[in-house]
Structure 1
């Protein structure tokens, strides 16, 4: 059974970047794309169902680094620098989180992202089973990295073993249409000994799993690592972590030598411009990372440090800050900024099944309505103007419909699966207790 999505504009976000006019995307019964191209050239099918759309159809956006259950902690310590914010506010609050708090926070975070057109997020947070259940309920997609940290009362060895056993028992992918991918989340080089980093790298390589790690986020956090090893990337290389499938979150304070090392190793980066700016962590050298052919995706970071989960906002910020940092208004063009949240983010996370509308990938689709002042000429605008209208003007506010693996999970701006009012009430109850 094939469903044909027809739209006046389709943005596959592949290579090369193309704007397709009067185009269709065909999706089979498994939720996989079988065709993306001009309507006139679409193959014939018996019993086909057609969904007529009026705006832009593009791939689901990908959040390459997030801690979405922190919706319950939003606004706490919002004017503190990173390390004080973590040690004085966030770590103590997280110690009081219950499994129900994490579940409620992830449900609402997933709903928020889906309504913004974000179909996939790479998450690092506690209570993995609660996280997975929450996303399976909303219908989103997630790369789940269980956080590994060395603190009093937390045994990093037991955490690594738990993740090993979960992957060995259930497989790396769980849920319909590979909704959840399991991986490892060593918090950072400054929160773990070298032996822990080495053990995580070994476990991840053995299972082909993704490693998500905070790296070189601020100048203060890794002073000891720089003194001992030269830089955080060099330390990660020494312990074998750069040989694994890895994405470094932030990578703000990296030298030319670090960038060369990351490029040669095949490591990837999750760039979080909004969080970096809010916490005054710095501006990551995005243009330099891309020039070195390092795969870069965009992330929001947590909703308590950003404080939203809107990837189109990150698309704008990434391009604007790169232009400011380089003094070049052409450093990151609108279409490349959009690719950082679609195709490039999928590459950074090691996923060839999402991020682009092409045969063989999951049908994670976003419909953006053109009835908005941001689109003064609607679909009749020239290609460059249309992309500029989407990236610089509309953002995510005109996202109306979202599908994951061909299943509609957002219709007319609201979830088809979960009662948003009830989800917000659950988070409100958790937040009241935690803030108190």
Structure 2
């Protein structure tokens, strides 16, 4: 059966910033079967019709997240990344139980859906429990099996075996991947093995790269190469590779990314909060490097709201280049939608076009933030510069409504908040 949506406008989520006024979008079997102006729409027939007074936009794609870190939101405030990890995060994470991770991921997934984020790329412990959480909320997730040398998680060989065992066991909601933490925490031979396994099984491989100025200092002193150069030299690049952050990249590093078609998860909120630096976003885009927006974990951002990150990305790009045209409003929105989907190799997501998955977000335009509108493209401009996730009223994944009137339809968020609070205090030793 066809489910027809009508809206004031459809924002497609492409780089050009296409906006279709007085729009109709049809969904059949979880996919978009038609989209365009109402005057050109096929007869509705016996379709179920949902009339939306605002803008219909694509579900956003969060390319880099450690969402269960809602357990640590706001903790370690004011510390730089190395101390933040060593003194606050890793000691608490050592106490995590699988149940902690599932509860926290459920709460975080519901939060993202309320913000209009329908898909996230996750790198965290107990991936099978994160997958269960995503299935419970109705979201989508690219759940990567972490590789990191911490007590309690087995050898690197055991961690990698779990990752490859999951290959081919995903479904419409959960795709599996491999997530070695970084070149400074995972031995280079293990990174090579992980990349080989990812290519063999068609999995996304994501790892932190060049987030801070000092993280690669030891590797540079030992090998005389930057982290991107080391990854290339050890056959880590190639296939579906996504580098998170990529803040401190010189021209040679960016050229390697272009040569190997490595994508970037751009996390401006986390990068600014931890004072990690400002990525060369404009240079990346001009080189044709695939880039998508990411929030990073909610302990270093401190939220999971891509509306805020895409706005910050545009502001920082313009400030860095001292050019008010350095990143346009359509490009900024595209980085959280169509570009983000392309960055993770998921061309079935991120845009409202025929054949893609019907992951939809209804944004209320009955607000002063949407005034004035002289041209229909002003709606997209307002989405980027004036509007926040507070204006999201409904979210659908594969045509199924998972947020209605700004609240989850699948889980009890108040109960989850209380549970996260209790668990967070236990992990903090209180």
Which residue of 2 is the match for residue 160 of structure 1? 160
RMSD: 1.2
CA deviations over 1:183-216 (Å, ceiling 9, x no partner)? 0000000001111001001100000000010000
Which residue of 1 is the match for residue 227 of structure 2? 232
CA distance in 1, matches of 2:389, 2:374: 19
CA distance in 2, matches of 1:47, 1:239: 58
Equivalent of 2:247 in 252, 256, 259: 252
Within 5 Å, give how 1:6-405 maps onto structure 2: 6-14=6-14, 16-28=16-28, 30-152=29-151, 154-167=154-167, 171-174=168-171, 178-227=172-221, 228-377=223-372, 380-405=373-398
Structure 1 length as normaliser, TM-score? 0.96
CA distance in 2, matches of 1:325, 1:245: 29
**Corresponding residue pairs, total:** 427
**8 Å contact 1:184–1:200 — kept in the other structure?**
yes
CA deviations over 1:12-68 (Å, ceiling 9, x no partner)? 11354311011111000x211111111121223532111100000010011110000
CA deviations over 1:204-234 (Å, ceiling 9, x no partner)? 0000000010000001111122331421111
Equivalent of 2:399 in 388, 393, 406: 406
Task: From the superposition, tell whether residues 51 and 152 of structure 1 become closer, same or farther in structure 2 (CA, over 3 Å).
Answer: closer
CA distance in 2, matches of 1:112, 1:284: 27
The Cα shift of 1:152 comes to: 4.9
CA distance in 2, matches of 1:241, 1:43: 49
CA distance in 1, matches of 2:43, 2:199: 44
CA deviations over 1:321-369 (Å, ceiling 9, x no partner)? 1111111111001111000000000000000110011111110000000
CA distance in 2, matches of 1:151, 1:397: 38
The Cα shift of 1:173 comes to: 2.3
List runs of 5+ in structure 2 lacking aligned partners. Answer: none
Which residue of 1 is the match for residue 5 of structure 2? 5
CA distance in 1, matches of 2:55, 2:169: 33
SS where residue 62 of structure 1 aligns? Answer: strand
CA distance in 1, matches of 2:377, 2:36: 19
CA distance in 1, matches of 2:309, 2:178: 24
Runs of 4+ in 1 over 3 A off after TM superposition: 151-154
Task: From the superposition, tell whether residues 151 and 424 of structure 1 become closer, same or farther in structure 2 (CA, over 3 Å).
Answer: closer
Task: From the superposition, tell whether residues 243 and 373 of structure 1 become closer, same or farther in structure 2 (CA, over 3 Å).
Answer: same
